[in-house]
Amino acid sequence: MALVSAVEQLAQARSFDAIVSIVRAKAREISASDGIAVVMRSEGCCHYIAEDAVEPLWTGQRFPLEHCVSGWAMLNGRTAVIPDIYDDERVPVDAYRTTFVKSMVMTPVGFGEPVAAIGAYWAQKGAPDPDTVQLLAALARSTAIAFENVRLNDSLMDLNATLEQRVEKAVAEADAMAQVLRQTQKMEAVGQLTGGIAHDFNNLMTVIIGNLEWMAHKLGDGAEARIKRSIASARHGAEHAAVLTQRLLAFARRQPLQPKPTDIGALIDGMSDLIGHAAGEAILVERRLADGLWPVEIDPNQLEATIINLAVNARDAMDGHGTLTIEAANLTIDRDGGATRIGLAAGAYVMIAIGDTGIGMPADVVGKAFEPFFTTKDVGKGTGLGLSQVYGFVKQSGGYVYIDSEPGEGTIVRLYLPRMAVDAKPVVRPVHEWSRAPGAGETVLVVEDHAPLRTHTTTSLRELGYDVLEAPDGPSALQLLDARAGPIDLLFTDVVMPGMTGQELARIAGQRQPGLRTLFASGYTRDAILRDGRLDDGVDFLPKPFTMAMLSRRIREAIERPVT
């Protein structure tokens, strides 16, 4: 059967020209007509690009969409069945007088907004067989799928050609930022520099990671192995760049502290390459991790930054040669445990010790080591911020930190992190899957000043089943809120925006619609929604960059959270 053959060939077509050639070769046989034409929608016109007919028709010519039957079919998304061309107002009769055409069928090609049409023509008047109309419609559907497959394949090829280079450049820029930050002399300067860059960088990473995730999902398991490897490689690079940005924010204490049950052993194991890179090739790294380490409630990103910070300090103390030891063990301190000299309260802890075989420190230096801007390094080689950041993070997390060092005997920095009161399942690094928490038609107002990220977010939410409104800034969002007749179910807003911040927008919007739920998103908060570095209870927050799964899950959780 001609239709079956056409469908099989279209499924294997890999170019626009190949699709048009197949349709031109098969459409006339399928419709048993005297002629057929393939028409493309192009810049407001109907472009007749191919035909197979008993006499010439209009190949190469263009007509306004509003003045041709193919345009009517594409604009309305409906098939035009015309038994007599001289008795139908949709037909521009003058264009047909010199042809053999007396009756016709024009079928649109495309989903949503058709991009093409297939016309079948007969030299006699009369309505075509209904089966013929259905066969042409089936051919049009297969052609639309073939067009979409080619478009997706071309997009993927373009992405493969440029994305890895762009991600590598972004990672290199992130590494350069880290070098600059280590030379910054004041904490506020570090925070401003890092935060401003991280805000735009995390927006970019969200768009890149989100689109790679979408493409992997759309291609599925049937994609070519090389294409799947390219997507996975590009995504790994993008995620690595995002992690670098989060570590920069942690160093500057500009990242919200988000404690969660954490497996310390798994976290340190997962950092092996990073620790080795920080220490350098000439330093031996030994890990001594006890079995059955208790879970602790800690911000894993901040803890990673702390360990890397201490590893770099140890490397400098050893002048690039020696042994770096990382230990972790469970520790129970009772009232008579002899730990009062470091202010360690009775309780259960997971102890992490980072030791080196370097030059060590005298007691007077140890006493000042945690003070901001105190450093023993030469000018330009240290900021004096490293240990003060470690101290602040550990104390903020409810733990203790202690330095044991003597000149010529090396240094050990011990972190004591409280065991969770009740064992909980330690956090596992997320598996990147297209895991959806779909919507049910709820209305979400998206406010984001970065246009590509706003487009990506709104498109994702619409695919999830939400009714989405969008605004580039706070005042525009308030105008949409005031103009809408019904309530909005969720305000999803960036935190840092020019003019009105996300926090100010949420406050004003909440006054105009009491009980309005808000979900904040940012890669850099400037303390706008924090209290002592932690998120307030009841504040819903989604850190950038985020994946489709993270977005869908947090949107769903925010909408379902009871209004207080």
Q: Could you list the pLDDT tens digit for every one of the 564 residues in the chain?
A: 777 787 788 887 788 888 888 888 888 888 889 999 999 988 889 999 889 899 989 898 999 999 899 999 999 999 999 999 999 989 998 888 889 999 999 999 988 888 899 999 999 999 888 888 888 888 888 888 888 887 776 666 666 657 667 667 766 666 655 553 443 344 444 445 555 566 666 667 777 777 777 777 667 666 677 776 777 777 666 666 666 665 555 545 455 567 888 999 999 988 888 888 888 888 899 999 999 999 998 888 788 878 888 888 888 888 878 999 999 999 888 765 555 445 667 889 999 999 999 888 888 777 767 665 445 554 334 444 457 667 777 877 888 888 888 888 899 999 999 998 765 555 444 433 444 567 788 999 999 988 888 888 898 898 888 999 999 999 999 999 999 888 899 999 988 788 888 889 999 999 999 989 999 987 765 444 554 444 555 678 887 777 777 888 889 888 888 876
Instruction: Look at residues 262, 213, 268 and name the one whose alpha carbon lies nearest to residue 236.
Output: 213
513 shares a domain with 456? yes
Q: How far apart are CA 132 and CA 83, in angstroms?
A: 13
Q: Is there a domain that residue 48 lies in?
A: yes
Longest CA–CA span in the chain (Å) reads 107
142 shares a domain with 8? yes
385 shares a domain with 491? no
Domain boundary among 251, 272, 293: 251
Q: Is there a domain that residue 505 lies in?
A: yes
Q: Is there a domain that residue 434 lies in?
A: no
Alpha-carbon separation of residue 286 from 104, 272, 523, 545, 561 (angstroms): 80, 10, 34, 33, 46
Residues in the chain: 564
Q: How far apart are CA 393 and CA 306, in angstroms?
A: 8
547 shares a domain with 474? yes
336 shares a domain with 235? no
502 shares a domain with 465? yes
92 shares a domain with 238? no
Q: Assign residue 493 the CATH number of its domain.
A: 3.40.50.2300
Q: Is there a domain that residue 66 lies in?
A: yes
403 shares a domain with 277? yes
Give Cβ neighbours of residue 291 (< 8 Å, ≥ 6 apart): none
Q: Is there a domain that residue 231 lies in?
A: yes
Q: How far apart are CA 224 and CA 267, in angstroms?
A: 34
Cα dihedral: 170, 175, 177, 182 (round 10): 170
Q: How far apart are CA 401 and CA 413, in angstroms?
A: 7
Q: Is there a domain that residue 423 lies in?
A: no
324 shares a domain with 243? no
| Angle between helices 2-12 and 130-181 in degrees, nearest 10 | 10
Q: Is there a domain that residue 424 lies in?
A: no
If DSSP codes are grouped into helix, strand and coil, which group holds residue 66?
helix
Domain boundary among 418, 453, 471: 418
175 shares a domain with 140? no
Q: How many structural domains comprise the chain?
A: 4
Instruction: Look at residues 451, 467, 533, 539 and name the one whose alpha carbon lies nearest to residue 502.
Output: 539
481 shares a domain with 375? no
Domain with 182 in it: 168-251
Q: Assign residue 60 the CATH number of its domain.
A: 3.30.450.40
Domain boundary among 222, 251, 280: 251
300 shares a domain with 385? yes
